[in-house]
Structure 1
Amino acid sequence: MGLPSMKKDLDADEAQKAADARKAEIVKAKSLNLSTLPDEDLLELIRQDNETAFRTLVDRHVDRGYAVAYRILRNASDAEDVVQDAFLQVWTRRAVWQAGRARFSTWLYRVISNRCIDLLRRPRIETMETLPELEDDRSDQMQSLARQEASDLLQEAMGKLPDQQRIALVFSYTENLSNGEIAEIMETSISAVEALLKRGRQKLRHLLRNTGGEILSTFTKY
């Protein structure tokens, strides 16, 4: 082996060592302030069995995940189970997570909505959810009651929609996702999402027609 070739190999080795050292420094630095990292970086650390990164990811997404599950299922216990199952998959399948295939939030919503559909299609005895207590504020009590009544009417109507329509409306209205994002989550086309939203709004208008007021007007402008 000639001197030029040896020098080239040595330079390559040094470059690789420098790259490895830099990568180790980045991982160490990131581990000190995980809350500032994007989801993809947290998932990479989770692949390396970093439990702190996993807890950070859970803390970041658990509230919105639960909100979506609850609005679809209208059952607090089932919503908690769905979200727990989803995050359990994150940890147990951490070694096979493929970066770049989808945003984590998209994957999470897809897992949650699919699991919700499974539960909705399961034969079960319907139970009445306990309504949340109103705040003890006498001056605002009538307004709070009106808001609660409107919310109850809307949730009751949403519960009567077909599963796919309800899920599309939840993502559109409560999560403010675009039709493209909803299509990716539901693994369908944008035109199919548009059709689901249109039919869902029409069904809600029919269900809410006798209630009048603010709720119905929300769905008549589309």
Structure 2
Amino acid sequence: MARKSEPGSQPRPGPEDNEDETLVLARVAAGEAEAFRGLVDRHLPTVLAVARRMLRDDAEAEDVAQETLLRLWRNAAGLELGPHGVRPWLRRVASNLCIDRVRARRNTVVVEAVPEESAPAAQVRQLSERDLGVRVDAALKALPERQRLALTLFHYEGMSQIEVGEAMGISDEAVESLLARARRALKGALKDEWRELMPDGEA
């Protein structure tokens, strides 16, 4: 007996869906707006859910969803679909766009928090913190994409491992593995700064 999906859930695409999406994507690449609308209807709820979970802001989430689907339209000709169709690609693009916005928020807060006239000691501290931030950003960028995404969602966005897995479309065990590898890589890259970055018990 076929198992029914729970109300509101998005079923994972099967091989038939992937084959269908390959054909639809070819039509999108040829400029067929109707085919594109079909993909939007199918995947917009998933993209919005990822963006809302990461940004916790409906307006920003809608902007990210629009940009993600626009990139699908522009890049349809060059996409090669895996066994789960276009959804993993959409998740990855939406997640990266969200990370860019999260980083922009943090940078804005830092800039606004710096006083116009600082005492020498405060200036030294600001330069030190800025230098640390540059080194951390460089170390994060050097990580493989999936490790960087998992670490950013878990530590900077405060998501649980389960929530990170839902956002990335992977299991809780896979998230745990990505986090462990990312922490080892960062610990090796940052050395002395590592204890300042990780919460107690994770260093």
Higher RCO structure (Cα 8 Å, ≥6 apart): 2
Q: Which has the larger radius of gyration?
A: 1
TM-score w.r.t. the length of structure 1 is 0.45
TM-score w.r.t. the length of structure 2 is 0.48
